[in-house]
Chains A and B, each alone.
Chain A
Amino acid sequence: MANLLQQTTSLWNVTMFALAAVVLLLVVLGFVTYAIYFERKVIGWMQLRIGPNRVGPLGLLQTVADVAKLLMKEDTRPQNADKALFALAPVLAYAPAFGVLAVIPFTDSIQFADLGIGVLYYIALSGITVLGVITAGWASNNKYSLIGGLRSAAQMISYEVPLVMSVVGVVLMTGSMNLREIVEAQKDVWNIVPQFLGFLVFLVAAQAELNRTPFDLPEAESELVAGYHVEYSGFRFAMFMLAEYVYMFGMGALVTILFLGGWLPIPGLSFIPGIVWFILKFSLYVFFQFWLRATMPRLRADQLMSFAWKGLLPVALLNILITAVVISVQNGSFHS
């Protein structure tokens, strides 16, 4: 990958890049399939149930069967819906979810695009998904959809502000927005230690960005029927679900890179290859998501909105100020 990046752009490079991207797509789809399986299994165990165990050995083919079912379901589109936007919304939701993975470095050699503005690219692209959600809510011409879509959009944009701000601390410490350089700057100590406040804000805000418990109001089955995708069925619906789990993949990778030291090993265990460390840290985050879902109840809508602005935003700003002052003290700026 690294060698190909150095060469001038040619048909050969582009083909290789495309093949690598397709491989990653397959890996991500495999991850989504088994993330859903393990989510159901883990929550099952935590609630003293068995979880899926019928389709295939140990229920391993449950999600495959679910996807096949969705693919063979009739694709209904309500008469009153806005036809063009109704078709566009799933694409708008899914395309950025996969697009953000282009900048993720999995190890120092397994990486796709090595952008200098990696963090900014991730954040900018992931913002487009809000558009997909609100388009879906609007185009369905359904009252539940519209309310669900607007709520979802309000939640996602509110939590995007603290999410983005909590990363500023990391960028301050590294002096770069390149994700590879951010990992390499954590050689001595992982960012989770000096940036603990930022890490907490990021963790909470990421949870809201992913629409997961305890911030899963956009999908509150019991009060909004389902939210913005009420009218969607079959594979269009699957695209929204897929986008959500692909974002979980992206967010897990991002947390690992920004705060948990990416592929860097725990001191003394450097004989284990980097990719294993990356997968371990990544899996820990994904498990944490399932664990939260089994533990936490859903927040109330008013608490949700005020928590973003009154709780997380001031803490994120405070984190930036503390980090900036500490760096200035270390550089000796106050003495000169």
Chain B
Amino acid sequence: MSAIYANNYVIVAIFLFLGVLLPVVTVSIIGPLVRPNNPTPEKLTTYESGNIPVGDSWVRFNVKYYIFALLFVIFDVETLFLYPWAVAYNKLGLFALVEMVIFIVLLVIGLIYAWRKKVLEWN
């Protein structure tokens, strides 16, 4: 049993290693051998539809993104709780159903609140 467990994660490690290896090998080892390299100052400027770039691009951005990120964290954690519940559901019976309904309702209230506050609009 433990051998299967170890083997499974060895395979996962191999896949991730290969996933890193392919871009690294093609970009840094094969690439320099076959591609030209002639960086001129014009080529190295930031692209802005042909205009000379104005200022820096690391600017403040819309706060909306932050709110969506917060919403995402809340609901993603909710799903994290839903998965073990779903796996064990058959063994837990009615009690689990009632508990999860309460949990989901609490989060739906949060969603409705965000909806009413017009957080979900994008403009």
State the A residues within 8 Å of B (CB): 4-9, 13-14, 17-18, 21-22, 25, 71-81, 87, 90-91, 94-99, 101-103, 112-115, 119-121, 138, 140-147, 150, 153-154, 157-158, 160-161, 164-165, 168, 171-172, 175-177, 225, 230-231, 234-236, 238-239, 301-302, 304-306, 309-310, 313-314, 317, 320-321, 324-325, 327-328, 331, 333-334
Residues of A within 8 A of B31 (CB): 71, 75, 234-235
Please give, as numbers and ranges, the residues of chain B lying within 8 Å of A79 by CB-CB distance: 44-46
A328: shortest Cβ distance to chain B, in Å? 5
CB-defined contacts of A301 to chain B, threshold 8 Å: 122
- Residues of A close to B83: CB separation below 8 A: 119-120, 168, 171, 177
A71 lies within 8 A of B8 (CB):
no
B122 touches A90 (CB 8 A): no
A112, B11: Cβ atoms under 8 Å? yes
Q: Are A99 and B97 touching (Cβ within 8 A)?
A: no
Pick the contact of A21: B15, B53, B65, B115 (CB < 8 A). Answer: B15
Bound state CA distance, A7 and B23, in angstroms? 32
Q: Does B43 contact A (CB under 8 A)?
A: yes
For B94, give its contact among A72, A87, A97, A333 (CB under 8 Å): A333
Q: Which residues of chain B are near A74, meaning CB under 8 Å?
A: 35-38
**A13-B10, A161-B72 given as contacts; is B19 within 8 A of A96 (CB)?**
yes
Residues of A within 8 A of B123 (CB): 302
How far apart are the CA atoms of A238 and B31 in the complex, in Å? 12
Instruction: Name B10's contact: one of A14, A96, A120 (CB within 8 Å).
Output: A14
Interface residues of B, Cβ cutoff 8 Å to A: 3-4, 6-12, 14-16, 18-20, 22-24, 26-27, 30-31, 34-39, 43-49, 53, 56-59, 61-62, 64-65, 68-69, 71-72, 75-76, 79, 82-83, 86-90, 93-94, 97, 100-101, 104, 108, 111, 114-115, 120-123
Across-interface contacts of A314 in B (CB, < 8 A): 108, 111
Which residues of A are found within 8 Å of B45, using beta-carbon distances? 78-79
Alpha-carbon distance A67/B100, docked complex (angstroms): 50
Distance to closest chain B CB from A299 (angstroms): 11
Chain A residues touching B, majority SS: helix
A141 CA to B45 CA, complexed, in Å: 10
- In the complex, what residues of A have CB within 8 A of residue B49's CB? 225
Residue in B19, B47, B82 whose beta carbon sits within 8 Å of that of A225 in the complex: B47
A336 to chain B, nearest CB (A): 8
Whether B35 lies near A334 (C-beta < 8 A) is: no
> Which B residues lie within 8 Å of A230 (CB)?
47
A157 and B57 contacting across the interface, CB-CB below 8 Å: no
Cα separation A74 to B39 with both chains bound (whole Å): 9
Known: A75-B35, A310-B120. 13 other contacts (CB 8 A): A7-B7, A9-B7, A71-B34, A150-B62, A157-B68, A168-B82, A168-B83, A230-B47, A235-B23, A235-B26, A236-B23, A236-B27, A333-B97
Cβ contacts under 8 Å, B9 to chain A = 113
Of A81, A140, A145, A172, which contacts B86 at CB under 8 A?
A172
Shortest CB distance A70–B (Å): 9
Q: What are 9 contact pairs spanning A and B, CB under 8 A?
A: A71-B35, A78-B44, A91-B20, A95-B16, A113-B7, A114-B8, A142-B46, A154-B69, A305-B122
Minimum CB–CB distance for B59 against chain A, Å: 8
Complex Cα spacing A317 to B49, Å: 44
B34 and A317 form a contact (CB under 8 A): no
Shortest CB distance A138–B (Å): 8
Q: Say yes or no: A164-B57 contact (C-beta < 8 A), given A14-B10, A302-B122.
A: no
Q: Are B82 and A165 in contact (CB under 8 A)?
A: yes
**Contacts A98-B19, A113-B11, A305-B122 hold; do A154 and B3 have CB atoms under 8 A apart?**
no
CB pair B12 A115 closer than 8 Å: yes
Which A residues lie within 8 Å of B44 (CB)? 76-79
